[in-house]
Amino acid sequence: MAFPADRPRRLRTSPAMRRLVRETRTDPAQLVLPMFVAEGIDEPQPISSMPGVVQHSRASAREAVAEAVSLGLGGVMLFGVPEHKDATGSGALDPDGILNVAIADARDVAGDDLLVMSDLCLDEFTDHGHCGVLDDAGRVDNDATLEIYGAMGVAQAAAGAHLVGPSGMMDGQVGVVRAALDAASHQDVAILAYAAKYASAFYGPFREAVDSSLQGDRRTYQQDPANAREALRETLLDVAEGADIVMVKPAMGYLDLIALVREHVTIPVAAYNVSGEYSMVEAAAAQGWIDRERAIDETVTSIRRAGADIVLTYWAAEVARRA
């Protein structure tokens, strides 16, 4: 019988061969570890819906940042969990507020050996849980929120952030933050823009992680999961406003969006492997339904293969240890 001249299986014959021809690789420097730092706690507090992830105390956060440096991670993305909230999220601007002191702690530990990134959004700080301030009708006031975002960006830069991450999906947020940073002589602080952030069901465990006070939902400002062209429009607006990196969030259900964005921009593309995606794998693995390590590696590889230069993932440290 005739045999095919081209036998692709030759390139799969052994682990060494598969390593040699592997098309997509993940270096620890391409991974960012999201971290939650809580006010008023002395020990890390487990997050029940995210096994293995904690709300850090300031001390344990410093230790985690030091480990991230030693592992060669690209960065940490910091979220603050304050004890007190109000209607305007005033804690976000307080130099002694939990997020700003966590940024300062991280920068003190890491110096310039690791990028300290900070979430620039009001949802952790408002008593209503929305990403901006509300008007008299209870709607998120886009332009009033932008004023606070500008001041928040300056506060985070002053605390030591290398990159700030506007994540509230307010129209014009990148341009306002860029202008505020430049006016305050923080021209070197970069913007990681949450350019295509969807109103996703996969954020559920994150709400526990930040003790969310959300009332209602965020569908009037986060993207409709059904829309792709709109996401590209949002992304290109952020690029035009001065974004240094653009991000798609979530990642696993939006690999097509990562690929679309990668095709249309020349700046780095990030993707956020979010809490619900993490927890699904952990829950299935705990039941013995899937091979945990293989599922983690396959998840991160798929995000990289789709076109993400940078992956934010709660598995960042674990993946780096096994790299």
In the residue annotation, 197 being an active-site residue is answered as yes
Tell me how far apart the alpha carbons of residues 218 and 283 are, in angstroms, rounded to a whole number.
Answer: 26
Neighbours of 228 (CB within 10 A): 16
Catalytic residue among 62, 186, 249, 304: 249
Q: Which of 101, 90, 89 is nearest to 132 (CA)?
A: 89
Here the tokens at position 134 are 């509300």
For tokens 């910091």, name the residue: 78
Residue type, position 24, single letter: T
Catalytic residue among 62, 85, 107, 197: 197
Q: Which of 126, 102, 96, 130 is nearest to 34 (CA)?
A: 102
Q: Which of 92, 62, 89, 87 is nearest to 159 (CA)?
A: 92
Here the tokens at position 11 are 């390139």
In the residue annotation, 85 being an active-site residue is answered as no
* Residues with active-site annotation: 197, 249
